[in-house]
Structure 1
Amino acid sequence: MENTHVKNLSFLLLATLFISTSGVLGKYIALSPEVIILCRASFAAVFIYIFCRFKKIDLKVQTKKDRNSFIVSGFFMAAHWVTYFYALKLSNVAIGMLSMYTFPVITALLEPFFSKQKLNPIHVFLAILVLIGVYMLVPDFSLENDQLKGILFGIFSALCYALRNLTIKKHVKDYNGSMLMFYQMIVVAVFLIPVLFFGDFSNLESQLPLLLLVALLTTAIGHTMLVYSLQHFSVSTASIISSVQPIFGIIIAYIFVNEIPSFNTYIGGSLILLTVVIESVRSRK
């Protein structure tokens, strides 16, 4: 039992590491967020489709209700990604990622409305820690400040991500994780089709290697692994544990683009990391 928990936890943390690459890639790909997400979803859909065919995974949607749920979930995923990348563009990797990681707070508060699970007081306590951590990031509360705008985009992105995870959670026992991600990518791409008519694709060729990387490593592999992890953890637990993602992202940004966080970012990040450690130990039960 102990080994199984460690294996599942390691799998979730590895998924989080792969997803963490979105911070640097989202910040420094020289395209608008809408164009990036359209390309990301389209390329990822191709990668996942090839994998599903290779593994002979059934792609049939069982009911009309499930199909409608996939569409709603995909809409939230699209909104989450676009607003998250705006958060990264307006602020920096550390602040963009950390502000988006209010989503465990939102998830813990919303999950009782989506399942029979009761609101856990420990999740409320951890939610407060995350909020204090985010508060440490805000330089000043002026809407003229791009960093504050980035934080607000990050928090809205967090709401969309929490709703996406909660709507897709109920399907993980009936459908393969890769199949779920395939349909998510299709829905995201369809919602963003209008970008083809007004988006700026002038830098597409030079940015293609980075787009393929974010589609394959971050999305096709990382997010699919995260969906698989929902078989073994509640959405609240998986969300809180994966809050280590900003820490991974800050380290990656420091290594590859020499982006050095401020002192307040270290404090806020430490509080978020503390919630991860507490929930990782607690979820063993």
Structure 2
Amino acid sequence: MQKSLHLRNILELNLAMLLISTSGALGRYIDMPVPVIIGFRALMAGVLLFIFCKWQGNSFRTSSKDRPTIILSGILMGLHWITYFYSLKLSNVAIGMLSIFTYPVITALLEPLLLKTKFQKVHLLLALLVLLGIYFLVPDLDFSNSYTKAVILGIISALCYALRNIIMKTKVGDYNGSVLMWYQLVIVSMFLLPFLFIMDSSGIKDQWLPTLTLALLTTAIGHTLFLASFKRFSITTASIISSVQPVYGIIIGIIFLGEVPVLSTIIGGILILTSVVIESVRTYK
């Protein structure tokens, strides 16, 4: 019974990664300013999650002592999305997605410091294996081209994401994951709402379907499943297993955008998948 439950948890986490990985192709495909894309994404996903939470009968009540943490997590989530999507616009699905996957390394270093958990050398070794995979996937760095800027933005995005995941780890046991995600979407929406009027948002008339897909599959369902996984895995374990996400994203990019990876990308993907399998087997045992 316990083995089948663990397998289900692993499969749910991988489903979350598959859904979240659609962000790469969608971020490249949707032709609107980045703050406008993220603003509509947060608004649509927020409405969908609110309806879902009401249907489930979830309580939206939060403790006053937890609100600063929830607000901070929402700000970090918004910064993560914006820097990530700018990274996508400056490069391609592979570079954009893989540059943010320095976040398992950042998480492995920060989690013991911030949550006072025991430092596990195996996590650092697996995170370094992921980093080695990313080394093969990212082309030669030249600080004068857009790809280098994309990688830098991706690393900033990774830092925001790692911090958001770590601070949310302290709250997922007290609140429903969908409710926590909804609050973050509300915060992102509030900050980006002015940009929907300042910047050109007329493109939503022609691109409402991919934007809705981004809001529903990637955000409302994918991120909620990922947030729920924090109850069953450590942040570092969830982060390392989620390293399969760029592999999914690159495959989706091949199918829908025709962005075919080179041999080095395939080598990097194999290294990343290896770390995912090792960590899955380790947590299973």
Give TM-score scaled by structure 1 length.
0.97
Aligned to 2:91: 91
Aligned to 1:147: 147
Residue range with higher mean Cα deviation, 16-25 or 141-150: 141-150
Q: Note the C-alpha offset of 1:137.
A: 3.3
Aligned to 1:175: 175
Q: Map Cα deviations across residues 197-250 of structure 1 (whole Å, 9 max, x no partner).
A: 422212111011111110001100110011111110000000100110001111
Aligned to 1:21: 22
In 2, the alpha carbon distance for the partners of 1:160 and 1:81 equals 9
For residues 171-210 of structure 1, what are the structure 2 equivalents within 5 Å? 171-210=171-210
For residues 99-178 of structure 1, what are the structure 2 equivalents within 5 Å? 99-178=99-178
In 2, the alpha carbon distance for the partners of 1:102 and 1:268 equals 13
Q: Map Cα deviations across residues 147-203 of structure 1 (whole Å, 9 max, x no partner).
A: 111111111111110011011111111100110011010011112233134222121
Aligned to 2:246: 246
Residue range with higher mean Cα deviation, 233-242 or 142-151: 142-151
Asked whether the equivalents of residues 177 and 228 of structure 2 are also in contact (C-alpha less than 8 Å), the reply is yes
Aligned to 1:231: 231
In 2, the alpha carbon distance for the partners of 1:263 and 1:155 equals 23
Q: SS at 1:132's partner residue?
A: helix
Aligned to 2:55: 54
Asked whether the equivalents of residues 130 and 243 of structure 2 are also in contact (C-alpha less than 8 Å), the reply is no
In 1, the alpha carbon distance for the partners of 2:245 and 2:141 equals 25
In 2, the alpha carbon distance for the partners of 1:92 and 1:237 equals 27
Matched residue type, 1:103: Y
Matched residue type, 2:47: V
Asked whether the equivalents of residues 76 and 163 of structure 2 are also in contact (C-alpha less than 8 Å), the reply is yes
Matched residue type, 2:255: I
Q: SS at 1:139's partner residue?
A: coil
Matched residue type, 1:277: V
Asked whether the equivalents of residues 70 and 183 of structure 1 are also in contact (C-alpha less than 8 Å), the reply is yes
For residues 4-15 of structure 1, what are the structure 2 equivalents within 5 Å? 4-15=5-16
Matched residue type, 1:47: L
Over the aligned positions, Cα root-mean-square deviation in angstroms equals 1.2
Q: SS at 2:65's partner residue?
A: helix
Q: Note the C-alpha offset of 1:52.
A: 0.7
Aligned to 2:41: 40
Aligned to 1:68: 68
In 2, the alpha carbon distance for the partners of 1:209 and 1:126 equals 38
Unaligned runs of 5+ residues in structure 2 are none
Asked whether the equivalents of residues 32 and 203 of structure 2 are also in contact (C-alpha less than 8 Å), the reply is yes
Matched residue type, 1:265: T
In 2, the alpha carbon distance for the partners of 1:267 and 1:145 equals 24
In 2, the alpha carbon distance for the partners of 1:141 and 1:229 equals 35
Q: Note the C-alpha offset of 1:136.
A: 2.3
Q: Map Cα deviations across residues 15-74 of structure 1 (whole Å, 9 max, x no partner).
A: 11111111100111001111110000010000000001111110111x222111110000
Q: Note the C-alpha offset of 1:134.
A: 2.1
Matched residue type, 2:54: R
Q: Note the C-alpha offset of 1:81.
A: 0.3
In 1, the alpha carbon distance for the partners of 2:11 and 2:114 equals 27
Matched residue type, 2:203: N
In 2, the alpha carbon distance for the partners of 1:39 and 1:136 equals 34
Asked whether the equivalents of residues 137 and 269 of structure 2 are also in contact (C-alpha less than 8 Å), the reply is no
Asked whether the equivalents of residues 94 and 137 of structure 2 are also in contact (C-alpha less than 8 Å), the reply is no
Count of residues paired in the alignment: 284
Asked whether the equivalents of residues 139 and 148 of structure 1 are also in contact (C-alpha less than 8 Å), the reply is no
Aligned to 1:263: 263
Percent identity reads 54
In 2, the alpha carbon distance for the partners of 1:262 and 1:119 equals 36
Aligned to 1:216: 216
Matched residue type, 2:78: A
In 1, the alpha carbon distance for the partners of 2:247 and 2:20 equals 12
